């Protein structure tokens, strides 16, 4: 039973709380929004600076002045819901600009560039819509946001849309790009060159014209970027070509990069393409319906670990190759590769399309399951480009040829052991001289080639 004295005390506490709110309400400059009060506490409201989301109002000069003042005072800026016209805006050092996700919109008005950040110690953008409106960018502006030489750049929970070139272009930045939704960029969602320990995680990237997430360096060297947990769909290759465009994730000359846990579908070329990238780890990704090679590690690399990936639908599955250009040293393990066709996006002048896994030098290929392959379940070496390849403990079924291994002169050694083959009508293990089959089925181990050791394999 509730007593009268308890009710009296409760009314007294409620009355004191209301009195306190009444005394402090005039000090709350920022309007109430969908965000929590704690998120807004201490932030600067845009309205007193004449920056308002009124249709047709150009307030770019006032906007820049407000950001500069807030950054100098170490104060975050909060934008209430609405559309804010922006053009040629240089972001100040120490900027922290946020809004209401999906409702606070920065709209590019088409004066050459949208957002630029240069030589800053720190800048942060969060909970904003950055809308290029597909308006023309000038020749010096590669993206809606062009950032260079930033000590700490954070872009979090933003929608970035309508980019007539790329959405984000970062040069020599240490960045965290997380939880954003980037769609409809004419070129790339994110181009990061010469980065420093950048993290790109949890983003949704879709419908980009020439690429998704690109991690590049002008000169080969350590990069350290982590690309994880992103969902990437519908990446086209508007510029054409045979691989520079149309990749969901592309790593070029950047060493020590990790690409893991991404869900990728509908890339015109590769889901993940690493070119001249040493010590790269590509793990636990889902790669669906890739137009060319689903996972590529190619040209001038030393060290590639490709493990635990699921590939369903591509013109090639996993390719770790180009020993002729220094590509070597790999582990390809515990992947599932299935539904590989022989139809690629161009006429191939070399190996061609239709194989599950390919490797050439200093590589261990083990524990993979490969199924429904148009040509070769596995391709071991190519011409003389074969050295120290172990293919052991794999399951290959429903491939025209289970495994093709090079038997040309000067091919190096290979050990093929303890693999299972099923439904391989052109042979389980066949020696190839370039494009042509040169041996009978070698599954019983009697190869007659000194550089091959074949044992313990079974075929049905």
pLDDT value of position 406: 98
- How far, in Å, CA of 159 to CA of 165, rounded? 16
Is the pLDDT at 31 greater than 80? The verdict is: no
Lowest mean pLDDT among 22-26, 78-82, 99-103, 187-191: 22-26
- Convert the pLDDT of each residue in 100-137 to its tens digit: 999 999 999 988 999 999 999 999 999 999 999 999 99
What is the dihedral angle through the alpha carbons of 344, 349, 354, 360, rounded to the nearest 10 degrees?
Answer: -130
Q: What confidence score (pLDDT) does residue 51 get? A: 75
pLDDT at position 41: 52
CA distance 217 to 214: 10
Which pLDDT tens digit goes with each residue over 183-230?
999 999 999 999 999 999 999 999 999 999 999 999 999 999 999 999
Which string of DSSP letters, residue by residue, matches 16-34? HHHHHHHHHGGG--SPP-S
- What integer pLDDT is reported at residue 54 of this predicted model? 64
pLDDT of residue 20: 33
DSSP 9: H
Counting residues of the chain whose pLDDT is more than 90, the rounded percentage is 83
pTM, full prediction: 0.90
**In angstroms, what CA-CA distances link 271 with 191, 296, 306, 355?**
16, 9, 13, 16
Half-sphere exposure of 427 (CA within 13 A, CB side): 16
Contact between 371 and 397 under an 8 Å Cβ cutoff? The reply is: yes
The burial class, CB within 10 Å (0-12 / 13-18 / 19+), for 323 is: buried
Write out the two tokens for 452.
């091959």
User: What are 325-339's pLDDT values in tens digits?
Assistant: 999 999 999 999 999
Give the pLDDT band of residue 57 (cuts 50, 70, 90).
low
pLDDT at 59: 56
Are the C-beta atoms of 425 and 386 separated by less than 8 Å? no
Question: What pLDDT is attached to residue 428?
Answer: 98
Residue 30 has pLDDT above 60, yes or no: no
- Residue 314: pLDDT above 50? yes
Which structure tokens are listed for 418? 């303890």
pLDDT for res 446: 84
Q: How far is CA 281 from CA 81, 111, 259, 360, in A?
A: 41, 42, 6, 18
Give me the residues paired with residue 458 across strands: 420
């Amino acid at each position: 039973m509730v007593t009268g004295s308890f009710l009296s005390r409760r009314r007294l506490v409620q009355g004191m709380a209301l009195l306190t709110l009444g005394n402090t309400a005039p000090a709350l400059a920022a309007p109430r929004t969908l965000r929590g009060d704690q998120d807004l506490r201490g932030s600067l409201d845009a309205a007193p600076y004449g920056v308002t989301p009124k249709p047709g109002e150009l307030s770019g000069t006032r906007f820049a002045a407000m950001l500069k003042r807030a950054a100098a005072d170490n104060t975050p800026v909060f934008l209430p819901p609405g559309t804010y016209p922006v053009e040629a805006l240089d972001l100040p050092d120490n900027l922290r600009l946020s809004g209401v996700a999906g409702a606070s919109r920065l709209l590019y008005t088409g004066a050459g560039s949208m957002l630029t950040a240069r030589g800053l110690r720190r800048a942060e953008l969060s909970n904003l819509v950055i809308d290029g409106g597909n308006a023309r960018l000038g020749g010096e502006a590669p993206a809606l946001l062009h950032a260079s030489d930033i000590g700490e750049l954070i872009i979090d929970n933003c929608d970035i849309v309508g980019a007539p070139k790329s959405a984000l272009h970062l040069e020599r930045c240490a960045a965290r790009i997380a939880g954003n939704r980037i769609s409809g960029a004419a070129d790339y969602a994110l181009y990061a060159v010469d980065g420093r320990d950048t993290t790109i995680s949890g983003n949704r990237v879709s419908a980009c014209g020439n690429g998704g997430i690109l991690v590049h360096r002008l000169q080969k060297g350590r990069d350290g970027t982590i690309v994880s947990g992103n969902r990437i769909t519908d990446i086209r290759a508007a510029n054409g070509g045979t691989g520079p465009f149309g990749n969901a994730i592309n790593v070029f000359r950047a060493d020590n990069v990790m690409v893991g846990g991404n869900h990728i579908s509908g890339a015109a070329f590769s889901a993940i393409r690493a070119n001249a990238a040493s010590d790269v780890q590509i793990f636990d990704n889902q790669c669906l319906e890739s137009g060319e090679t689903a996972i590529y590690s190619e040209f001038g690399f030393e060290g590639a670990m490709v493990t635990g990936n699921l590939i369903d639908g591509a013109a090639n599955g996993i390719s770790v190759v180009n020993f002729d250009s220094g590509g070597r040293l790999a582990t390809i393990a515990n992947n599932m590769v299935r539904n590989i066709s022989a139809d690629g996006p161009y006429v191939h002048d070399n190996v061609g399309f239709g194989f599950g896994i390919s490797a050439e030098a200093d590589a261990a290929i083990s524990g993979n399951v490969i199924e429904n392959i148009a040509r070769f379940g596995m391709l071991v070496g190519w011409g003389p480009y074969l050295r120290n390849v172990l293919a052991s403990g794999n399951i290959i079924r429903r491939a025209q040829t289970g495994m093709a291994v090079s038997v040309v002169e000067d091919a190096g050694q290979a050990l093929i052991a303890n693999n299972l083959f099923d439904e391989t009508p052109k042979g389980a293990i066949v020696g190839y001289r370039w494009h042509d089959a040169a041996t009978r089925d070698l599954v019983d181990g009697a190869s007659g080639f000194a550089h091959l050791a074949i044992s313990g394999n079974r075929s049905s």
